């Protein structure tokens, strides 16, 4: 691909280091490594401060273990280091390790709690070591980092007679800037970590660099400030692009470079190809999710150009491969978090930052929505007059094939009612004046290329179950706000983008935001097609329409075990699960009552199938970096 450096966040299994050594040994173009040390999520987000034994001692000890690992001088049993690999480490890869990034995206509460707890106490706001020391204005948390960094350099120097560059992980939530009050209030910006307060002595030869995770859509702090002079950059107009939009990402990178006297590395940047979306960059369109693979590649190019133009000393694309197990804040309420590795949740954007995709199926998917219906054999068929519906599914999607003699796609509307749970639904949809033979929870409306969507019965609306107060301003669990079981109203399926947070203590003004995730996108979803669009939900070919829907869009919490949402209001207070072994589907124009037929469902448990595929964005980055290398 043309990359010259890879980054790992924690100690890997020994097979990684063996492969890394084998690849680099004798190579004219070796890969270099930035190695991290992880801080366990439970400790970081618990009641502990940064000087507690579980935090400080573990952080320092794991850093020393990491040094032994890269020198090929350690054996680790499974579980010895939390959030890390295990094995016997015999390969010395230290020649290719150019630096360490210690720590993670610090929890702002932990930082501010530590700083408040030890403020003014002797020994917690100053430190002088052989290799690192604090400036007079260092905070207690920065002092802790200085102590760890100094002792890591000391350990490697005394044991291996070597030193490497060191950075301490950081991100916008704990960046070193002082923001206007409106930004601090809205984003609850309560903590700052400034590595300029960490100094190095002449005995530490390699020196420090500053490491930041910076994405184009987060933070959008600068969008809330009119006067940018307080950030030490030129006016907003200086960052307006050729399309007239403000490039706040470039401005933020400029702020970082202006602030630091040491080299700045953007050690994490990326864009997700997930269907769901959690953040929006309204200026440049580089959003967190709902981005095609081609658009992901272009966004990475744009970010890379911003990184270079602003004087940063390189960057690391996040990430090499998709991660099915990841949760996202705006979908985690809707899924069983103990089972996320066993299915591919296309609504959860955190799972799809990779340049390498894991697609369902041992060698290929059971279906590609591309207009080629030759793969549709021996499937469930539901007959309704001259219209036929077939269904199949895999670890990522449930697929539908419509066959209608004489299909006039642009001038007729088709309805597919779906009965997922016996607990909710209606046999009448007042939105379109259509009737069903039994209660339906969802209606897929195929109405041309630009106006097709899936809608949900209002009582089975997952957004309302969790975010009614933010979006609608009322508690849906008060008796007067509970949707009736007999309701005939279906609503658009929305996904929360931003919860309601007070803009100021004085006004109590709140802002929440969501977007319609049930809107269906027309296109070709076959990766082998020249017209490939990874976000495409449906397409047509002659008398046929192919559709693919991610499981979560139908309120499946875990399709591997066929768990769906229970009735949110029937002795529940939010999302609980029930197991189903069938669902019902029908097809019709709405002229007559639409019959539904049974579709038997069987989960796959822990037996997941997948195959690897390089995304379009991989080849885009390869063209960029290979060309740059030449």
Place 504 in a pLDDT band, splitting at 50, 70 and 90.
low
Here the tokens at position 245 are: 């939009």
Which residues, at least 6 apart from 328, have a Cβ–Cβ distance to it below 8 Å? 276, 278, 348, 349, 350, 351
Report the range of poorest mean pLDDT among 103-107, 177-181, 393-397, 503-507.
503-507
> How much is the average pLDDT of 103-110?
95
**H/E element holding 471?**
helix 462-471
Is the predicted pLDDT of residue 433 greater than 50, yes or no? yes
Please report, rounded to a whole number, the percentage of residues in the chain having pLDDT higher than 90.
84
Same domain, 299 and 416: no
If you count them, how many residues does the chain have? 630
120-to-133, 193, 511 alpha-carbon distances in Å: 18, 17, 38
Domain that includes residue 468, residue range: 363-608
With tokens 């955190």, the residue in question is 350
Residue 192 counted as domain residue: yes
pTM of the predicted protein model? 0.95
Cβ contact 69:137 at 8 Å: no
Least confident piece of the model among 291-300, 498-507, 616-625: 498-507
One domain, residues 389 and 286: no
pLDDT at residue 502 greater than cutoff 70 = no
Asked if 118 and 258 sit in the same domain, the reply is yes
CB–CB of 522/539 below 8 Å? Answer: yes
What is the predicted pLDDT for the residue at 510?
Answer: 74
pLDDT band at residue 123 using 50, 70 and 90 as cut-offs: confident
**How far is it, in rounded angstroms, from Cα 5 to Cα 28?**
14
Residue 463 forms part of a structural domain: yes
Q: What is the DSSP letter of 57?
A: I
Lowest-confidence range among 131-145, 178-192, 324-338? 178-192
pLDDT-above-70 percentage for the chain? 98
Residues 596 and 623 grouped into a single domain = no
8 Å CB contact between 271 and 216 = yes
How many structural domains comprise the chain? 2
Query: 397 and 302: one domain?
Result: no
What CATH number is associated with residue 195? 3.20.20
pLDDT in tens, 440-497: 999 999 999 999 999 999 999 999 999 999 999 999 999 999 999 999 999 999 999 9
**273 and 403, same structural domain?**
no
At CA 200, angle to CA 198 and CA 202, rounded to 5? Answer: 170
Q: At what angle do helices 616-629 and 293-309 cross, to 10 degrees?
A: 30
Q: Under a CB-based contact definition with an 8 Å cutoff, are residues 264 and 255 in contact? A: no
Question: Is residue 627 pLDDT above 60, yes or no?
Answer: yes
- Between CA 264 and CA 315 the distance in angstroms is 9
CA distance 151 to 432: 69
Q: What is the pLDDT of residue 630?
A: 43
Residue 342 in domain: no
- pLDDT bucket at 505, cuts 50 / 70 / 90: low
Are 554 and 475 within one domain?
yes
Residue of 87, 9, 2, 625 lying closest to 323 (CA atoms): 9
- Looking at the structure, do residues 216 and 258 belong to the same domain, yes or no? yes
Rounded Cα–Cα distance for residues 212 and 267 (Å): 6
Considering the domain architecture, whether residues 407 and 467 belong to the same structural domain is answered as yes
Residues 619, 580 share a domain: no
- Residue 624 has what DSSP assignment? H
Q: For the chain, how big is the Rg over CA atoms in Å?
A: 27
Q: What is the pLDDT of residues 512-566, one digit of tens each?
A: 899 999 999 999 999 999 999 999 999 999 999 999 999 999 999 999 999 999 9
pLDDT digits (tens, 9 = 90+) for 234-272: 788 888 888 888 899 999 999 999 999 999 999 999 999
Residues 203, 306 within the same domain = yes
Q: What's the confidence (pLDDT) of residue 437?
A: 96
For residue 114, being part of any structural domain is answered with yes
Residue 336 lies in a domain: no
The reported pLDDT for the residue numbered 43 is 81
Which residue bears the tokens 């573990």?
A: 58
User: Are 264 and 367 contained in the same domain?
Assistant: no
Residue 439 located in a structural domain: yes
Query: What per-residue confidence (pLDDT) applies to 413?
Result: 97
Is 346 part of any domain?
no
**Interval 42-101: pLDDT, tens:** 787 788 999 999 999 999 999 999 999 999 999 999 988 988 999 999 999 999 999 999
User: What's the whole-number average pLDDT of the chain?
Assistant: 94
What is the band of 282 on the pLDDT scale with cuts at 50, 70, 90? confident
One-letter-per-residue 3-state SS of 213-257: ECECCECCHHHHCCCHHHHCCCCHHHHECCCCCECHHHHHHHHHH
Distance CA 268, CA 409 (A): 44
Q: Does some domain include residue 430?
A: yes
pLDDT (mean) for 355-376 = 96
């Amino acid at each position: 691909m043309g990359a010259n450096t890879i980054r790992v966040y924690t100690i890997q299994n020994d097979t990684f280091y063996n492969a890394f050594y084998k690849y680099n040994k004798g190579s004219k173009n070796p890969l270099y490594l930035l190695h991290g040390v992880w801080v366990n999520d439970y400790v970081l987000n618990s009641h502990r401060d940064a000087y507690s034994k579980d935090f400080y001692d573990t952080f320092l000890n794991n850093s020393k273990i990491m040094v032994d690992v890269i020198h090929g001088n350690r054996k680790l049993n499974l579980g010895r280091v939390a959030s890390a690999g295990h094995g016997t480490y015999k390969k010395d890869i230290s020649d290719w390790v150019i630096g360490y990034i210690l720590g993670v995206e610090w929890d702002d509460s932990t930082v501010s709690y530590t700083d408040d707890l030890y403020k003014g106490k002797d020994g917690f706001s100053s430190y002088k070591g052989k290799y690192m020391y604090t400036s007079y204005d260092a905070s207690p948390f920065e002092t802790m980092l200085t102590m760890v960094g100094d002792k890591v350099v000391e350990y490697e120097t005394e044991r291996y007679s070597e030193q490497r560059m060191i950075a301490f992980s950081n991100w916008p939530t704990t960046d070193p800037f002082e923001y206007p009050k409106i930004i601090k209030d809205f984003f609850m910006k309560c903590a700052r970590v400034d590595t300029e307060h960490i100094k190095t002595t002449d005995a530490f030869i390699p020196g420090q660099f500053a490491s930041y995770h910076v994405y184009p859509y987060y933070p959008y702090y600068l969008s809330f400030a009119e006067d940018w002079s307080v950030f030490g950059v030129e006016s907003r107009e200086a960052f307006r692009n050729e399309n007239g939009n403000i490039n706040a990402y470039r401005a933020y990178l400029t702020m970082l470079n202006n602030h630091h006297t040491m080299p700045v590395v953007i050690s994490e940047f990326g864009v997700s190809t997930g269907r769901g979306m959690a953040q929006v960059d309204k200026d440049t369109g580089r959003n967190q999710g709902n981005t095609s693979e081609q658009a992901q590649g272009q966004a990475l190019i744009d970010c890379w150009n911003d990184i270079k133009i602003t004087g940063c000393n390189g960057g690391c694309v996040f990430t090499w491969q998709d991660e099915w197990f990841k949760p996202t804040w705006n979908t985690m309420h809707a899924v069983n978090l103990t089972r996320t590795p066993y299915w591919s949740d296309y609504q959860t954007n955190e799972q799809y930052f990779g340049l390498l995709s894991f697609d369902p199926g041992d060698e290929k998917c059971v279906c590609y929505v591309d207009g080629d219906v030759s793969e549709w054999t021996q499937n469930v068929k539901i007959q309704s007059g001259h219209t036929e519906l077939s269904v199949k599914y895999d670890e990522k999607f449930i697929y539908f094939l419509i066959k209608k003699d004489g299909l006039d796609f642009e001038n007729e509307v088709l309805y597919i009612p779906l009965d997922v749970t016996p607990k909710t639904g209606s046999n009448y949809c007042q939105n379109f004046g259509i009737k069903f033979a039994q209660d339906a929870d969802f209606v897929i409306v195929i109405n041309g290329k630009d106006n097709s969507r899936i809608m949900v019965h209002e009582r089975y609306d997952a957004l309302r179950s969790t975010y009614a107060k933010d979006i609608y301003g009322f508690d849906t669990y008060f008796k007067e706000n509970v949707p009736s079981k007999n309701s005939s109203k279906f609503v658009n399926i929305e996904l929360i983008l931003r919860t309601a947070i007070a803009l100021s203590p004085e006004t109590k003004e709140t802002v929440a935001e969501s977007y319609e995730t049930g809107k269906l996108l027309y296109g070709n979803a076959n990766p082998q097609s020249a017209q490939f669009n990874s976000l495409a939900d449906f397409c047509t070919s002659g008398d046929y329409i192919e559709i693919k829907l991610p499981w979560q869009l139908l309120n499946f919490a875990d399709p591997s075990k066929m768990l769906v949402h229970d009735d949110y209001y029937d002795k529940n207070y939010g999302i609980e699960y029930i197991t189903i072994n069938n669902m019902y589907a029908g097809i019709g124009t709405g002229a007559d009552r639409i019959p539904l037929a049974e579709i038997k469902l069987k989960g796959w448990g822990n037996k997941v199938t997948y195959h690897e595929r390089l995304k379009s964005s991989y080849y885009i980055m390869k063209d960029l970096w290979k060309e740059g290398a030449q």
